[in-house]
Amino acid sequence: MRENAGVTAASDDIVWDVVVVGAGPAGSSAARCAAAGGASTLLVDRATFPRYKTCGGGLLGVSRRFLPPEGVAAIEAEVGRVVFTHDGARPVEIRRDEPFLAMARRERLDAALVTAAQRAGAVFREGVAVQRVGAASADLVAVETSAGVLRARVVIGADGVGGRIARHVGVTPARVDLGLEDERERGRAPRDAVRIDWGPGAGSYGWLFPKGEVDEVGVIEARGRPDQTRAYLAAWLRETETTDAAPRHSSGHLTQWRTASSPLRRGGVLVAGDAAGLLEPWTREGISFALRSGTWAGEAAARAAAGDPAALDGYVARVEQELQPEIRTGAQLLTVFERHPRLVHAALGRSRRARRAFVEFCAGETPLSAYATRWWFRLAVSVLGRGGSATV
């Protein structure tokens, strides 16, 4: 992909309203919304697009609502069937006539979202690595990059786990997980179902997402046991009968979720998506958080650049109000799952209420945080989550 023609990104004479670092779903959404709000906007990424990204690529219903038309067009498959196993055994199927989960390959989805940002008026520069961020003056932020120094009224960091912008803001993770994934040529897996396996490690699970001509097969668990994680991936590849399919990519990726007190802003610098630790801890679903936080950050940045002194604090308040409750609920579910994976699996098989809740969550019909107020959820968390909880 190429930057918008005729625009030089780094120059002593240029002050951007908004500079966005990282062109994943959060960054591209932020750039698109900032540009649509009238802000001069520069989007930079160290990679060259399209690029492969370790990610299951599952899209909840809430994600679809925040996708521009270009992103919707990048969806590769939709399913109305999920098959769960526990350590590869005891299958439980959840089915609905209409699809409740969509899937996309990140290299295509992310490229489509960059295109949407460019069409909204943002300038895109790829192959630009950020080296440092700091104050240029009382009202401007300086971003030192491999292409020169950028100056902006607002900077949005969407540069992922451990990115330079996230470190500048001081993002504090509650926990970091390691995900390993193989993208393989289409194998024997049914094309109409997603497979999820509750794994041998506490809180671990594996996935198989069939997407057109490829299968995305991966596992995730708490960072710190890489040999165990690799062994689980090897076993899951055998279980899904994908070991004979030709591998296209093999990669790893760190994910994190924030502590409740982790900052989202430092002066004129915001963080969004993975960089901010916005992730649902039980499923480790992050795309919906990236799309929502990126959208809100871009809108807030445009208002701030236009002179609204409350805009950036408004972004922080919205994330705390709308996304943090989902993170908190997901952490509670993760605690129960880590302690009682067999019971969670049995509940999905035997409880119509549990199956309906899972489908409604995936379809975007009910936010995860809504279940935190229901008596059966509170009872389960109180009884089964005793002795501690996943940190938030």
pLDDT at position 313: 98
pLDDT at position 186: 85
Q: Are strands 81-86 and 89-95 parallel, antiparallel or unpaired?
A: antiparallel
Q: Give the whole-angstrom CA distance, residue 312 versus residue 270.
A: 8
Query: 246: which DSSP letter?
Result: P
Strands (E), the chain: 16-21, 41-45, 58-59, 77-79, 81-86, 89-95, 101-103, 123-126, 130-135, 141-145, 148-157, 173-185, 194-198, 205-211, 214-222, 247-258, 265-266, 269-271
Strand partners, 133: 143
Q: Give the whole-angstrom CA distance, residue 167 versus residue 183.
A: 30
pLDDT tens for the chain, 392 residues: list them.
434 433 456 555 789 999 999 999 999 999 999 999 999 999 999 999 999 888 889 999 999 999 999 999 999 999 999 999 999 999 999 999 999 999 999 999 999 999 999 999 999 999 999 999 998 888 999 999 999 999 999 999 999 998 999 999 999 999 999 999 999 988 777 889 999 999 999 999 999 999 888 999 999 999 999 999 999 999 999 999 888 888 898 999 999 999 999 999 999 999 999 999 999 999 999 999 999 999 999 999 999 999 999 999 999 999 999 999 999 999 999 999 999 999 999 999 999 999 999 999 999 999 999 988 888 888 878 887 765 556 66
Domains and CATH numbers, the chain: 16-52+106-173+258-325 (3.50.50.60), 77-101+176-255 (3.30.9.10), 335-384 (no CATH)
Q: Give the whole-angstrom CA distance, residue 193 versus residue 289.
A: 24
Q: Taking the model in full, what pTM does it have?
A: 0.93
pLDDT at position 267: 96
Q: Give the whole-angstrom CA distance, residue 154 versus residue 65.
A: 26
In sequence order, what DSSP letters do the residues of 24-86 get, joined into one string? SHHHHHHHHHHHHTT--EEEEESS-SS-------EE-HHHHHT--HHHHHT--EEESEEEEEE
Distance in angstroms between the alpha carbons of the first and the last residue of the chain: 38
